[in-house]
């Protein structure tokens, strides 16, 4: 009997954060052509490769390009890990956006977006973001919206749903959201300062 209670408690603990995330994002996920207009798109970082963005990151950036071209946003903030060890994610993201037609003066780079919560707090405090279209993969989007809203940002989002050549990365991404949702709820409750607070 005790073992069943322990199992039940573990299931509840795992599902509660996911339920919170899904509720916070309810009605806020849209395709590019119908997402509500916001002043800015916030593109969360992912792996950069020596020759440019990884396929997953490129898909996020393609969404940002489409949002800008359709007039859904007026500027783009890219947020990621710009250390040399991460192959300078935000430099790579900025270059890709410029190469695809987004004017350089419409792009800002948050070089210290090490985690989703850090990105949300930093773009709010350092880049003046109060309302945004959050851009990432579909599996990551509900958590991103939930954390952005917790940080005080009026957030909606568009997410890349394609599998393509990076099917394995996408499957892993879906699986890791269970554990990541627990950390997200902890961040929402404790509201820690970002790992890096400067520009």
Mean pLDDT across the stretch 19-42?
97
Q: Is residue 132 within 8 Å of residue 15, measured between CB atoms?
A: no
Q: What angle do CA 166, 170, 173 make, to 5 degrees?
A: 140
Q: Is residue 78 part of a domain?
A: yes
Q: Is residue 196 part of a domain?
A: no
Mean pLDDT across the stretch 38-66?
97
Mean pLDDT across the stretch 177-183?
86
Q: Is residue 174 part of a domain?
A: yes
Domain of residue 15: give its range.
2-190
Q: Is residue 139 part of a domain?
A: yes
Per-residue confidence (pLDDT) for residue 188, from 0 to 100: 96
Q: Is residue 120 within 8 Å of residue 150, measured between CB atoms?
A: yes
Q: Is residue 199 part of a domain?
A: no
Per-residue confidence (pLDDT) for residue 7, from 0 to 100: 45
Q: Is residue 16 part of a domain?
A: yes
Asked if pLDDT for residue 26 goes beyond 50, the answer is: yes
Nearest residue to 81 via CA among 71, 73, 91, 72? 91
Q: Is residue 71 part of a domain?
A: yes
Residue 177 structure tokens: 């959201």
Q: Is residue 197 part of a domain?
A: no
Question: For all residues of the chain together, what is the average pLDDT?
Answer: 91
pLDDT tens digit sequence for 122-155: 999 999 999 999 999 999 999 999 999 999 999 9
- The total of structural domains in the chain comes to 1
| CATH number for the domain that contains residue 103 | 3.40.50
Per-residue confidence (pLDDT) for residue 4, from 0 to 100: 53
> Furthest-apart CA pair in the chain: how many Å?
63
Per-residue confidence (pLDDT) for residue 6, from 0 to 100: 47
Phi, psi for residue 32 in degrees, rounded to 5: -55, -45
């Amino acid at each position: 009997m005790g073992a069943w209670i322990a199992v039940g408690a573990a299931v509840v603990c795992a599902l509660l954060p996911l339920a919170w995330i899904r509720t916070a994002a309810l009605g806020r996920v849209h395709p590019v052509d119908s997402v509500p207009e916001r002043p800015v798109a916030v593109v969360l970082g992912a792996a950069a490769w020596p020759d440019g963005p990884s396929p997953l990151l490129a898909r996020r950036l393609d969404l940002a390009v489409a949002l800008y071209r359709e007039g859904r946003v007026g500027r783009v903030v890219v947020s990621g890990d710009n250390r040399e060890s991460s192959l300078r994610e935000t430099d790579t993201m900025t270059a890709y956006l410029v190469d695809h037609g987004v004017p350089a003066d419409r792009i800002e780079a948050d070089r210290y977006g090490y985690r989703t919560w850090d990105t949300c707090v930093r773009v709010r405090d350092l880049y003046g973001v109060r309302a945004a279209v959050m851009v990432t993969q579909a599996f990551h989007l509900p958590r991103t919206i939930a954390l952005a809203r917790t940080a005080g940002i009026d957030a909606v989002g568009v997410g890349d749903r394609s599998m393509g050549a990076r099917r394995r990365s996408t499957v892993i991404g879906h699986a890791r959201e269970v554990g990541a949702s627990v950390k997200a709820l902890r961040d929402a409750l404790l509201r820690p300062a970002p790992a890096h607070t400067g520009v």
